[in-house]
Structure 1
């Protein structure tokens, strides 16, 4: 998954893969789909993968449950505006050092 891809777009691609497997009279189980999903998330969602893997049994997790967790985390990131270093209200967030340097000017 590319950094700019949405989760819905990527799951659509995975759905297409499932359909092709079905056309070959084969199936992809939830465990395989979850593994593919978690292995291909962009860096902004890596924190949630690091939380899912040690605390959940990925081999028995439903695909929809894994996708729901990723979507919830992605939505939180978007609401807080952390993806670009800005808050949701558009104000730039500074480190303490940057703030002190800004106050001196």
Structure 2
């Protein structure tokens, strides 16, 4: 019975490893949402005994960033030692870049164009 249990665990870990290799940002997905997905996947791999490291997760994260975050990913790769960066730190830095580059809102909640006092 335990042999079958071990085979199921190995098959599940193999599928999760395949999912990790194929993970990408979904259209209009935020860094925070993607960070949750990739860390959940890594936690599931850990629970099955797979020794995935933070370095692998950070490198994968930086490899699959969408074009809007490409500049931030290049900066992180150039200026940080990726062997010493935690997943949380990488996600936090990408989130900061994402927030900084968001387009400014020019309409209110009802879709009306916001004007300044002079207009």
TM value normalised by structure 1: 0.70
Displacement over 3 Å in runs of 4+: none
Shift in Å at residue 37 of structure 1? 0.8
Query: Is it true that 1:90 corresponds to 2:114 in the alignment?
Result: no
CA contact (8 A) 1:18 1:27 kept: no
Shift in Å at residue 16 of structure 1? 2.2
Shift in Å at residue 89 of structure 1? 4.7
Q: How many Å separate the matches in 2 of 1:16 and 1:89? A: 32
**1:89–1:56: structure 2 CA closer, same or farther, 3 Å change rule?**
same
Query: 5+ unaligned residues in a row in structure 1: which ranges?
Result: 82-87, 92-105
| Aligned-residue CA RMSD (Å) | 1.7
Shift in Å at residue 19 of structure 1? 2.5
Tell me the matched-pair count. Answer: 83
Select 1:55's aligned residue among 79, 99, 106: 79
Cross-structure match for 1:66? 90
Which has the greater radius of gyration?
2
**1:62–1:90: structure 2 CA closer, same or farther, 3 Å change rule?**
same
